[in-house]
Amino acid sequence: MEKKAYIVSLNVGQPAIVNMDGMEVTTGIYKQPVDTPLWLTKTNFTGDGQADLVHHGGPDKAVCAYPSEHFAAWERLYHQPFTAGAFGENVTLSGLLEEDVCVGDIFEVGTAVVQVSQPRQPCFKLAKRHGLKDLSLKVQETGYTGFYFRVLKEGSVQRGDSLTLAERSARPLSIRYINHIYYVDKTNVAAMKEIVAEPALSEDWRRSFMKRIKQ
pLDDT of residue 25: 78
Q: Which domains does the chain have, with CATH numbers?
A: 6-170 (2.40.33.20)
Run of H or E including 135: helix 135-142
Q: Collect all residues with Cβ–Cβ distance below 8 Å to 215 and sequence separation of at least 6.
A: none
**Pick from 126, 158, 118, 148: which is nearest to 33 by CA?**
158
Q: Which amino acid is at 132?
A: L
Above 90 in pLDDT, residue 79? yes
Q: What is the pLDDT of residue 24?
A: 82
pLDDT of 5 reads: 97
Q: What is the pLDDT of residue 97?
A: 98
Over range 202-213, report the average pLDDT.
97
Query: E strand or H helix at 149, and its extent?
Result: strand 147-153
* pLDDT value at 51 more than 70: no
- Cα atoms in the Cβ-side hemisphere of radius 13 Å centred on 3: 9
Distance (Å, whole) CA 7 – CA 66: 10
Q: What is the pLDDT of residue 1?
A: 43
Q: How confident is the model at residue 215 (pLDDT cuts 50, 70, 90)?
A: confident
Distance CA 177, CA 7 (A): 23
194: left (phi over 0), alpha (psi -120 to 50) or beta: alpha
Kindly state the average pLDDT of the residues 67-77: 98
Per-residue pLDDT, averaged over 3-29, amounts to 85
Say yes or no to pLDDT of 54 above 60.
no
Confidence of residue 103 (pLDDT cuts 50, 70, 90): very high
Position with higher pLDDT, 111 vs 50: 111
56 has a pLDDT exceeding 60: no
**Above 60 in pLDDT, residue 39?**
yes
pLDDT tens digit sequence for 127-186: 888 999 999 999 999 999 999 999 999 999 999 999 999 999 999 999 999 999 999 999
Residue 52: the pLDDT is 60
Which helix (H) or strand (E) segment holds residue 206: the answer is helix 203-214
For residue 76, count other CB atoms closer than 10 A to its CB: 8
CA-nearest of 148, 153, 158, 206 to 182 is 206
- pLDDT band at residue 55 under the 50/70/90 scheme: low
Long-range contacts at 189-192 (CB < 8 A, ≥ 24 apart): 189/213
Share of the chain above pLDDT 70, in %: 94
* Cα–Cα distance measured from residue 39 to residue 46, given in angstroms and rounded to the nearest whole number: 6
| Structure confidence at residue 2 (pLDDT) | 56
